[in-house]
Amino acid sequence: MAIKTTLAELYKFGPGPSSSHTMGPMIAGFNFYKLMGGLTKKELAKADALEIVLKGSLSATGRGHGTDRAVLAGILGHSPDSCPPELLDELAADRRAPHRLSVKGFHADLCTDSVVYGPTAGDFPHPNTMTISLKAGEDVLLSREYYSTGGGFIEWQGYKAPEKPEPPYPYTTFRELKSYVTEERSLFDVLLANETALSGKSENEVLAFAGKVIRIMQNSVREGLKRDGLLPGSLKLNSKARQLFEKYRSGSVHGKADAAITAVTAMAIAAAEENARGHIICTAPTAGSAGVMAGTVHVLMSRHIRDFARICEGLTVAAAIGYICKQNATISGAEGGCQAEIGVASAMAAALLAYYKGGNADQIDNAAESALEHHLGLTCDPVGGYVQIPCIERCGFGIIKAWTASCIACEEIPASHKVSFDDCVEAMWLTAKAMPSKYKETSQGGLAQVLC
């Protein structure tokens, strides 16, 4: 089936620290809130309880990822792009404080501790499963089993994807996408035509949305560079982006190569730390990996000759890399380990960089391939269930690999590159399926096992 994902579905704005464990559950909660609104007053009058049960990886790492407060905020009528961060802070600070849900005369007082942490292992349809049920005694008035499939995307039992028009240039692989490129029609032209057809937006509206993505990404880096001190949670991890950036700015970092690497890494880490604080970030493709693309965009925007339009176009090209990974493999750490998050983010950033530097479609293919290839097999083992260790520094490594990949791809002879991006996506999916579940966002393996 042709890829029909749009920019606004991939680049989502909202609170961190996790797209699958924070944003997805909030979107699921908000979906259930709207479903309740579809019931009649008479039906709602019978209800006396609302039950939320987290399962699988959502249960295993939900506390550190803020899943409970996110789903609750959704049920209270908030979506990630409009949820006031203060509400999330309140829900975290006092887990027993009641928050009133009101729908058509039905009222319920809910608190963070009312979210049930269910089984972490079992034969679930997706590793990130949760159920929300509205009950009247033992009777279930309304219930939906949700799956948070990564990047803030959700599905549910019996889910049917919304009908969308056929794109003018249908593709499922990068090879197919490249086949539409001619002397007169660039890769960006192809993707823009698809985006306008699928989203119903004009070309100007598409570019305006890309501009908003740039602003949110830059803001997450700027805010991260301003703050220092401890990050939230029991790990008591110190933030470091500001310190790194100040060392770079003061000229005290030894040598040009060290200085460049320190600056670029600091920018990726700054956005990743903002994500860990639960502040607003842009998923690319996920929240845990958001620092990679945000850092890359910020560096490009900081250059003396910034080319805003070209970065907007590059974001569209990078998105296609995310779409292909989502469709043919996964962008969920709970399904594929960190190769599916930081690996895909690094591939997207490499494609953006190669496009920005004037690379052709083959060079973009090679850059994305190289970045993803060198993340293959990377496990997801967040210590204590927090999106901090190894996630934050991993964003720093993701951006450096993206830069290296774009340099190799833009300077080598494209035809000498032996592995295609599509081959690498297939390899990632095979690796994901073979990876033991303890390395897929359960906090039961790797560093999480050793340090806790």
List, in sequence order, every beta strand (DSSP E) within 269-361.
280-282
Phi, psi angle pair for 225, to nearest 5°: -75, -15
Residue 288 Cβ vs ligand SF4, minimum distance, rounded to whole Å:
3
**What would the DSSP string read from start to end of 54-117?**
EEEHHHHHHHHHTHHHHHHHHHTT--TTT--HHHHHHHHH-TT--EEEEETTEEEEE-GGGSEE
We find the least distance from the C-beta atom of residue 403 to ligand SF4, in angstroms, to be: 19
Q: Residue 126 or 394: which CB sits closer to ligand SF4?
A: 394
Closest distance to ligand SF4 from the beta carbon of 338 (Å): 3
Q: Which of 288, 295, 359, 385 contacts ligand SF4 by CB under 6 A? A: 288
Minimum gap (Å) between residue 315 Cβ and ligand SF4: 20
**Binding window for ligand SF4 (CB under 6 A); candidates: 94-102, 336-344, 361-369, 409-417:** 336-344
How far is it, in rounded angstroms, from Cα 420 to Cα 176? Answer: 12
Question: What character string, x for contact with ligand SF4 (CB under 6 A) and - otherwise, covers 384-413?
Answer: ---x--xx--x-------------------
Retrieve residue 208's tokens. 């305006």
In angstroms, the Cα distances linking 292 to 4, 67, 440 are 24, 23, 20
Q: Which residues pair with 144 in a beta bridge?
A: 132
Our CB check for ligand SF4 shows the closer of 114 and 388 to be 388
Q: For residues 49 and 180, is the Cβ–Cβ distance under 8 A? A: no
Give the three-class secondary structure for 33: helix
Q: How many residues bind ligand SF4 (CB under 6 A)?
A: 13
Closest distance of CB 388 from ligand SF4, Å: 8
Name the token pair of 290: 């958001």
Minimum Å gap between C-beta 269 and ligand SF4 is 13
Closer of 387 and 428 to ligand SF4 (Cβ):
387
**Which residues from 257-286 bind ligand SF4, rule CB under 6 A?**
none
Taking the C-alpha atoms of residue 290 and residue 273, their distance in angstroms, rounded to an integer, is 10
Span from 43-51, 102-110, 136-144, 337-345 in contact with ligand SF4 (CB under 6 A): 337-345
- What string marks each residue from 140 to 159 as x (binds ligand SF4 by CB under 6 A) or -? --------------------
Site membership for ligand SF4, residue 441 (CB under 6 A): yes
The only residue of 341, 369, 373, 422 in contact with ligand SF4, by rule CB under 6 A: 341
Partners of 230 in beta bridges: 238
Q: Would you tell me the crossing angle of helices 67-75 and 85-93 to the nearest 10 degrees?
A: 120
**The one among 25, 118, 382, 445 contacting ligand SF4 by CB under 6 A:** 382
Q: Which of 338, 349, 353, 425 binds ligand SF4 (CB under 6 A)?
A: 338
Give me the least distance between CB of 421 and ligand SF4, in Å please. 20
Q: Rounded to whole angstroms, what are the CA distances from 282 to 179, 231, 279, 295, 445?
A: 30, 19, 10, 11, 28
- CB-CB contact of 16 with 92 (8 Å): no
What is the C-alpha end-to-end distance of the chain, expressed in Å? 43
Rounded to the nearest whole angstrom, what is the least distance from the CB of residue 443 to ligand SF4 in the complex? 9
CB of 385 to ligand SF4, least distance (A): 9
Q: What are the C-alpha distances in Å from 336 to residues 142, 332, 366, 402, 441?
A: 32, 6, 22, 20, 9
Among 219, 289, 330, 370, binds ligand SF4 (CB under 6 A): 289
Q: Kindly list the residues in this chain that would bind ligand SF4 in the complex (CB under 6 A).
A: 288-289, 333, 338, 341-342, 380, 382, 387, 390-391, 394, 441
